Amino acid sequence: MSIETNNYVFTLPSYQKNSNGIVCIWEAAYQFSKFRNVSIIISDSLLTKIPEKFKDIKIYFLDSQLKSNRSNITHISKANFDIKDILVQPDDPHNYFDNLDLEDYGLNTSRTVRYLMCKSMLLSESLLSMSSNSYGLSYSNAVSTVFPSYLIISDKILNINNSFEKLKKKNKVLIYYGKVRYGLSFKNLKKIINQFDEYEIIHRLYPKKTSELYEKISESTLFVSIDPLTSLIHESTLIGTPAYVYDSAFKEFYDNFDFKLHGFYYDLKPSELTKVFKDSENLSEKAVNTAKDFMANIEERTKKTIENIEGHFLNNISNEGIIKDAINEDITFFKEKWKVPTIFNCTSYRTIYRYHITNKYKIFALLALYINRLRVSFRNSFILKYLTTEEKTIIKKYLKRNFIREDIRLKEQNKIKKFW
């Protein structure tokens, strides 16, 4: 069969080196560029530092106020798209393209590949929506088992052990709160924590440096992720630290992932820890070798993916039945596992504390939090606003506030531990 050759236009968020998901979808564009002419439209209003490897790809930004001194990066008004170009669109959770008509720039949106990075109904109330003539592509089997997957592991992750100083293991457990699901029970977490001499809680913005994050994982005997979606679970095993995926909603999908995931554990009991540690003696070697073996045929997988996409549009194939199956898979997962179409985005200890209050006290917590926000707003707007710094200090003295700065991080972690 003769396959029509096309150009590809990827609509991507600005490059963020610390976001594995964003790095991987940029990497997808790079892999496609080895076999086809590829352009990238940056969907947000940022123009971050883009790696040199993308120098031969035309990159367009939307904000006319932005400037770039790189010849391959310019405003979208300079673009010369063709109606036959194929549009590749990952998820757009921030709705950047709602007010942008891509057809104004010569693109035919009926020739669209939806590159799905997450199941629908997980992060918002929206179900998967795509036209019947679009081509569906999932990031991995954990996103969809209906659409074909195109999974990429970035070079940074493959070479993770070269990016930080390896530390001696401690009898320590590291707990990560990232995107956290409402409704979890934490009865088992305290039992696990009590088996260690030391524990530490981290979140999406702490630690700030990636090298420090990896060092913390490296020195820990166990990595516990309350977030079932984060790539840190896999990265932990690449470093050599077994991962307890505390929210087991994705267990079935991870057990049947695109490649074998070594060192993933669910519903872990304290009595099983000794075996976990014994089985993890060469975990890093196994996990790294498996990941590198999977990426060894990326060019063949890319060519096959391109061939399938272009065959779909050449033959005007309708995906209506497949899309219905994908939607039904998302609905079933939501009803049976996920339950609530929202997550707590834990970017501070305060966010984690608020999550636990809401998770434990349900609707009563929402009322209490709302009243407290009104109290704080009233205090800041009508009381503290009219006091000088000296007067505020005197009030703190009479309220018996401690002027000697405590270890805030330790204090916040102890508050969170009470909910386990």
Shared domain check, 380 and 323 = no
pTM of the model: 0.88
Element (H, E) at 155: helix 155-158
Shared domain check, 316 and 360 = no
| Integer Cα distance of 145 and 138 in angstroms | 8
The reply to whether 372 falls in a domain is yes
Beta carbons within 8 Å of 338's beta carbon, 6+ residues apart: 121, 122, 181, 249
The reply to whether 128 falls in a domain is yes
211-223 confidence digits (pLDDT tens): 999 999 999 999 9
The reply to whether 302 falls in a domain is yes
Among 336, 360, 387, identify where a domain stops.
Answer: 336
Shared domain check, 134 and 51 = yes
**pLDDT value of residue 405:** 57
Shared domain check, 313 and 357 = no
Provide the residue count of the chain. Answer: 420
Cα pseudo-dihedral 234, 242, 254, 353, rounded to 10? -80
Shared domain check, 78 and 33 = yes
State the pLDDT confidence band at 2, using cuts at 50, 70 and 90: very low
Q: Pairing relation of β-strands 86-90 and 112-116?
A: parallel
**pLDDT value of residue 393:** 75
Shared domain check, 88 and 17 = yes
The reply to whether 264 falls in a domain is no
Shared domain check, 322 and 370 = no
Closest of 339, 342, 328, 337 to residue 145, by C-alpha: 328
Range list of β-strands (E), 358-413:
none
Shared domain check, 396 and 328 = no
Beta carbons within 8 Å of 149's beta carbon, 6+ residues apart: 137, 138, 139, 140, 141, 143, 258
Exposure string of 347-385, with b = 16+ CB inside 10 Å and e = fewer, is eebebbbebbbbbeeeeebeeeeeeeeeeeeeeeeeeee
User: Is residue 11 helix, strand or coil?
Assistant: strand
The reply to whether 106 falls in a domain is yes
Shared domain check, 64 and 144 = yes
| Integer Cα distance of 414 and 200 in angstroms | 10
**pLDDT value of residue 1:** 41
The reply to whether 262 falls in a domain is no
Shared domain check, 58 and 146 = yes
352-411 confidence digits (pLDDT tens): 999 999 999 988 888 888 887 888 787 777 776 777 777 777 777 777 666 555 567 888
Distance of CA 283 to the CA centre of its chain: 23
Peptide bond into 207 cis (omega under 30): yes
Query: How many CB atoms are located within 10 Å of the residue 266 CB?
Result: 16
Beta carbons within 8 Å of 125's beta carbon, 6+ residues apart: 341, 342
10, 75, 304 from 3: Cα distances, Å: 20, 32, 12
Shared domain check, 95 and 18 = yes
Distance of CA 75 to the CA centre of its chain: 28
The reply to whether 69 falls in a domain is yes
Shared domain check, 143 and 74 = yes
Domain of 391 in residue numbering reads as: 348-417
Looking at the structure of the chain, the number of domains it has is: 2
Closest of 118, 93, 119 to residue 332, by C-alpha: 119
CATH classification at residue 15: 3.40.50
Range list of β-strands (E), 226-272:
243-245, 264-265
| Integer Cα distance of 214 and 211 in angstroms | 5
Among 309, 336, 363, identify where a domain stops.
Answer: 336
| Integer Cα distance of 272 and 244 in angstroms | 11
Among 280, 313, 336, identify where a domain stops.
Answer: 336
The reply to whether 309 falls in a domain is yes
**What is the residue type of 72?**
N
101-135 confidence digits (pLDDT tens): 778 778 888 899 999 999 999 988 889 999 999 99
Element (H, E) at 380: helix 349-382
51-74 confidence digits (pLDDT tens): 999 999 999 998 888 888 899 999
